[in-house]
Amino acid sequence: MKVGLIGLGHWGKNHARVLGNFKSEGEIEELYFFDIDKNQLERMSKFHNATPIESIEDMSRLDLDAVDIVVPANLHFKVAKHFVETGVKTFIEKPFTDKEEDALKLIDMATNPESDIMVGHIFRFHSAVKKAKDLIKSGQIGKPLVADIRRTAYGVPRKDNGVVFSLAIHDLDLFGYLVGLDKPKSVEAISSKIVGPTEDHAFIKVEYHDSEFIGIAEESWMHPHQEKSRTCAVQGTNGVVSLDFLKPSEILFHSKYIDFDRRLVDNGTFTQTLPFKEPLTEEIRHFLMNSRENRPFEAGPEVGLNAVRLCNSAIESANTGRPVDL
């Protein structure tokens, strides 16, 4: 395969590492890098045995099989359209785009959108998340009632996006993914702007059509009293499955619930250890394999579009003080 990578910044350099590993393993025959920082481009290209390219336009003329785009969200549409409209398999980091209309334009450009465009919803490739989904689907926790996901820390907020598009986008996607629901009904949110122009703390609730299940997320860069936290718990009628996103090799099942007589039943907690698999490596492996075989992606453009809509709805709800119906 001939693969290009556009963007070698904070997160792009991790994509470069993984793609470089796949090249050394023979999964990629030709690897090309582009970044506006020429010094970074030269360093990373040399280190990962890739060919540096002078511009995005030059990259688009290489007859690539696949391209990996890891640039700021406001550039996603501008960069991706060069490749989507010519049939190159295209990976776009989350968010799919920063505007819904741009996402729809990319979908319209693609010949077969679900097998031409993949969006970087990395936690769908997290070992503990995948195991949690399997346990929920098998009925281990009974009927899912509520998911509680928290991503909190104390640090300098990002300049380009607030916590909704930076953090909550993962969880707004995971709610439906974990329990098998794909039709959100409403979004309700509150947020605060403590130190910057965008929200740095938010609480979000999502409800779904034809289901009593709700998803609740807390996202914050303003938690000075605790260390970085990344947790998820899904409560069902027969128990709870929980995980720590920072520990992809571990998942917990809590045989704990309220019975029909409103009594607490607690049969203990059971921990399962999972083989370690780096989520980013698994995500890119999936992209390369499905691109080669022309198969639909786990996180195709409709998944990406839905996540963008949920994020925009959360921001609208926080700004207006009212739930947003979908």
Question: Picking from 19-28, 95-104, 226-235, which range would have the lowest pLDDT averaged per residue?
Answer: 226-235
Using one digit for the tens of pLDDT, what is the confidence trace for 246-264?
999 999 999 988 888 888 8
For Cα atoms 217, 223, 224, give the angle at the middle one, nearest 5 degrees.
170
Question: Is residue 283 over pLDDT 80?
Answer: yes
Task: Please state which architecture CATH assigns to domain 124-279+310-325.
Answer: 2-Layer Sandwich (3.30)
For Cα atoms 232, 234, 236, give the angle at the middle one, nearest 5 degrees.
165
State mean pLDDT over 28-32. 98
CATH topology match: 2-121+280-297 vs 124-279+310-325: no
Across the strands, what pairs with 241?
234, 253
3-state secondary structure 28-53: CCEEEEECCCHHHHHHHHHHCCCEEC
Per-residue pLDDT, 269: 95
Per-residue pLDDT, 158: 79
Per-residue pLDDT, 197: 85
Contact, 218 vs 152, CB < 8 A? yes
Question: Is residue 159 over pLDDT 90?
Answer: no
Per-residue pLDDT, 256: 87
State mean pLDDT over 60-73. 97
For Cα atoms 283, 219, 299, give the angle at the middle one, nearest 5 degrees.
25
State mean pLDDT over 48-77. 97
CATH class of 2-121+280-297: alpha beta
pLDDT band of 160, cuts 50, 70, 90: confident
Question: Is residue 28 over pLDDT 80?
Answer: yes
**C-beta atoms surrounding 94 within 10 Å:** 23
Per-residue pLDDT, 224: 78
State mean pLDDT over 66-91. 97
pLDDT band of 195, cuts 50, 70, 90: confident
Question: Picking from 19-33, 65-79, 248-262, which range would have the lowest pLDDT averaged per residue?
Answer: 248-262
Question: Is residue 225 over pLDDT 80?
Answer: no
> What φ, ψ does residue 238 adopt, rounded to 5°?
-120, 5
State mean pLDDT over 255-282. 92
State mean pLDDT over 227-243. 95
Question: Is residue 302 over pLDDT 90?
Answer: yes
Q: In percent, how much of the chain has pLDDT > 70?
A: 100
Distances (CA, A) of 259 to 214, 236, 243, 268, 274: 20, 11, 24, 15, 30
State mean pLDDT over 134-141. 96
Residue extents of the structural domains in the chain:
2-121+280-297, 124-279+310-325
Per-residue pLDDT, 32: 98
Question: Is residue 49 over pLDDT 80?
Answer: yes
Using one digit for the tens of pLDDT, what is the confidence trace for 86-130?
999 999 999 999 999 999 999 999 999 999 999 999 999 999 999
